Every structure is written in C-alpha cells, then in structure tokens.
Amino acid sequence: MTYRLGACDIDEAYRYSLSVITDCESDQTLVVIQSNPSTASESVSDPTVGKVAHWAEENQFATVVFLNLFAFISTDSSVLKNKPYDEIVGVRNDEVIRDKLSIDNCTVVLAWGKPTIGKDLYCRRLEEVKVLIQRSGNEPFHVGRLTKGNYPRHGRSWNGDNRELQELEWSDILCPQNQDKNTVGRDPRNEQKHFLHSSFREKLIEHLLIGELLKLSWKNATYSLEVSKPEVDRQGYDLILKDSGFIRHVQLKTSHRGAKTQMQKVHTALADKPAGCVVWIYFDSETLELGPFLFFGGAPYQALPDLSEFKVARHTRGDAAGVKKDRPSIRVVPKSKFDTIDSLELLYVKLFQTPECSD
C-alpha cells in the first residue's frame, strides 16, 4: 500500500489542513480531526499520517484530509499549554474546517486521543467543533473503542480490534458542562444494562411490536393478523406478517431515541420475498416505549426497492492479511431512504393498506 502527500495549507506556525491521496479508486474522502499538527507537510510524512492513510485505503477512501482542533504546529504539548487560546486555535482554523466538511462524499472521523492541553480549553474547543460538524450536516465517527478517558482514539492506535469505524454519540465524549439536557442525569446503570443485555432487549422489543400489532388487529375488529418466524435466520427477515390478503417479510432494526445511526445493513435476499420491507424501531431507553418508526419498502403488493444502487457492506474484521472483504449479499441503506412513521397505527396502515384504501 502506498500513498502520496497532497496539498498542505500551512501559514507560518499553523497547519490548517493536509491532504493525502491513497491508491484506492473511489469518490470517498476521509476527514480526520486530530488535536494539533506536528511536522508533517506536503513533503514530509509522519507515523500518524502513514497509519491513517493505510487504514483509509483498506476502507475504500481515495483521499484523506487532516484537520485539527488546534492548528498551532508543535510536538511539545507544554508549548500549547502556555499560549493563549485564540493563538493555538488559529485565526483561519474554523474557516478551513467548514470548507473541508463541505466536501462531497466525506466521512468525518474524530481522532485526537487524550487532549494535550488543559481540560477547560479542550472542552471549550470541543463544543465549538461540535457546532461546526452539526451545521455541516455530517455525522461524526470514531475508529475502535473510545479510550478509557472517553476520547476518540488517536490514529496511531487504530490497531488490532480497534480498527472498526464506529458512529459517535456526542454524549459519550462531551464535557459535563456541555452535555445536552436529554443526557444529563442519565442513569449509568441503565446504559450498562443496554450494553450487557442487548440481545434480551432486542427480543423484548420484537415481542412488544408483535403485541402492539395484534392489539391493533383486535381494535380494528379484523382479528386477522397472522405472525410467524423463520426457523433459520439467513434470508434477511425476522418476521412474516399476513393481513388483508398481503404477506410481509419484515426485517427489524432498532435504535434508542436520540441515537445518531445514519444507515442500516439490508440483506439482498429480502428483495426476493413478497413485499419485503425493513421496519426501524426507535424506543425509549428507560421505558422501552416504541416509536417513532422508519420504513423502507413499497406498498404491500410491491417488492423491496432495488438494492443494487446502494453501497456493498464489508466485514467488520479483516482476514489473515488484515483485508476487510466485501459482503455482496449485504447493502448499506442510508437513513434518508427510509420513510418516517409517527405511530403504530400508521405503521399498520403502511404494512397492510394500499394507497387507495388509505385515502
């Protein structure tokens, strides 16, 4: 694997951005936000640049753009601690970050590791960069597990089991004074419960959904909803639902309310089933109340929309050579392709009523 150093925006003591070109032929750009730049430039690389560039090529990124929380060039953290805040941020830093976050087909990865400056200055800058990312419309990611201090892992530490791209929850890394009202006071025991017993929770939510749909069949006085499940989970669906003469093969996905998940993996075999669809269930993490819902599919007499236009998923772990191979039977469908459904009643209509019947 090779890479080439590209454009570098250096202004005296500041490096605002550095681009690297990999050997991958794609239209994807990896935007990596680090703490502060060292001495890498358009003519000199460093271990972090090399490590991240190799990871980017393995994961099908053609270009890497390095940005920083603080644009002041230094390999000595004590230098940063002894300078005024505005001086280490850099006068053009926010302008450059905004510009790079507007690149088409970019994935934004936070990768600064443990901060090299005081906690107060770090928290202040983190909040500013969070706003820049949110206003750009991009969702943040990190690679591997967060560090023990809940910092996004540095590019030099993208090793072993810590090489998988992960969606970032801002609440996991924000300083206490910057926490959203919805995250302040969350019971850590509840969060641990979701982490340790996720399989139990997924099965419970499935049964809650079935119960609510059966209840609607009762309330509608049709008493006709039939529910069955596959004995073997290899065709991309979790439930078979039948009502009003229509059969739905349904793949279930779940996220807690407030989750930042922006895509779901869908099995191509689901497209071979009559009226296949994906129901993405949001739930309250405290009460497990269901809703709202996202729906990917057609009318109850239509097959799943064509999946060939969507990106092929890749294995989360590499083979013996460290290569993450494609999973041809799995496609990555972005959240924007799902319809939002606010209630169980409307979900029932979406599943079993034709447009003519619902008018």
Residues 241 and 167 in one domain: no
158-162, 174-178, 198-202, 294-298: the lowest-pLDDT one: 174-178
Together in a domain, 141 and 215: no
CATH of the domain at 204: 3.40.1350
> What is the pLDDT at residue 354?
67
Quick one: average pLDDT of 246-275? 89
State the pLDDT at residue 235.
79
Number of domains comprising the chain? 2
Asked if residue 27 belongs to a domain, the reply is yes
pLDDT at 295: 97
Where is the domain boundary, 136, 156, 185? Answer: 185
Regarding whether 23 and 82 lie in a shared domain, the answer is yes
- Does position 355 have pLDDT exceeding 90, yes or no? no
> Which pLDDT value is given to residue 180?
45
Please check whether residue 129 is in contact with residue 111, taking contact to mean a CB–CB distance below 8 angstroms.
Answer: no
- The pLDDT of 9-27, averaged and rounded, is 93
Q: Which domain holds residue 337?
A: 195-358
Average pLDDT, stretch 315-338?
A: 76
194: pLDDT strictly greater than 70:
no
% of the chain with per-residue pLDDT over 70:
89
Q: Tell me what pLDDT residue 184 has.
A: 39
Question: How high does pLDDT run on average in the chain?
Answer: 87
> What's residue 344's pLDDT?
95
Residue 16 placed within a domain: yes
Task: Assess contact for 275 and 301: CB atoms under 8 A.
Answer: yes
- 106 in any annotated domain: yes
Q: Which of 130, 165, 185 marks a domain boundary?
A: 185
Confidence of residue 183 (pLDDT cuts 50, 70, 90): very low
Rounded mean pLDDT, 187-195: 60
Are residues 32 and 107 located together in one domain of the fold?
yes
Q: What pLDDT shows up at residue 309?
A: 87
Averaged pLDDT, 184-196: 57
Residue 348 lies in a domain: yes
Residue 179: what pLDDT? 47
The answer on pLDDT for 182 being more than 50 is no
Q: Is residue 190 part of a domain?
A: no
Residues 150, 35 within the same domain: yes
Average pLDDT over residues 5-29: 94
pLDDT (0 to 100) of residue 327? 87
Final residue of a structural domain among 139, 157, 185: 185
**Band of residue 261 on the pLDDT scale cut at 50, 70, 90:** confident
Quick one: pLDDT band at residue 94, thresholds 50, 70, 90?
very high
**Residues 171 and 227 reside in one and the same domain:** no
Give the ranges where the chain is alpha helix by DSSP (H). Answer: 47-58, 77-81, 85-89, 93-101, 119-136, 170-173, 188-196, 198-219, 344-352, 355-358
In a domain, 17, yes or no: yes
Task: Give the pLDDT confidence score for residue 78 in this predicted structure.
Answer: 78
Same domain, 205 and 145: no
189 band by pLDDT with thresholds 50, 70 and 90: low
pLDDT at 234 over 80: no
Looking at the structure, tell me whether residues 72 and 168 fall in a common domain: yes
Residues 212, 148 within the same domain? no
Looking at residues 301-307, what average pLDDT do you find? 91
Sign of CA dihedral 191, 192, 193, 198: positive
Burial (0-12, 13-18, 19+ Cβ within 10 Å), 255: middle
What per-residue confidence (pLDDT) applies to 324?
64
Residue 95 has pLDDT above 90, yes or no: yes
The answer to whether residue 332 sits within a structural domain is yes
C-alpha 15/C-alpha 328 separation (Å) is 41
The 8 Å CB, 24+ separation contacts for 121-124 are: 121/85, 121/88, 122/69, 122/175, 123/174, 123/175, 123/177, 123/178, 124/85
Residues 205, 338, single domain; the answer is yes
In this prediction, residue 31 has a pLDDT band, given cuts at 50, 70 and 90, of very high
Instruction: Lowest mean pLDDT of 17-31, 35-49, 217-231, 250-264, name the range.
Output: 250-264
292 and 351 housed in the same domain: yes
Determine the average pLDDT of the residues in 21-37: 93
> Given a cut of 60, is residue 199 above it in pLDDT?
yes
Same domain, 263 and 175: no
Position 102 pLDDT exceeds 80: yes
Helix orientation angle between 119-136 and 93-101, rounded to the nearest 10 degrees? 40
pLDDT tens digits for range 308-326: 988 888 766 555 555 667 8
Is the pLDDT confidence value at 206 over 70? yes
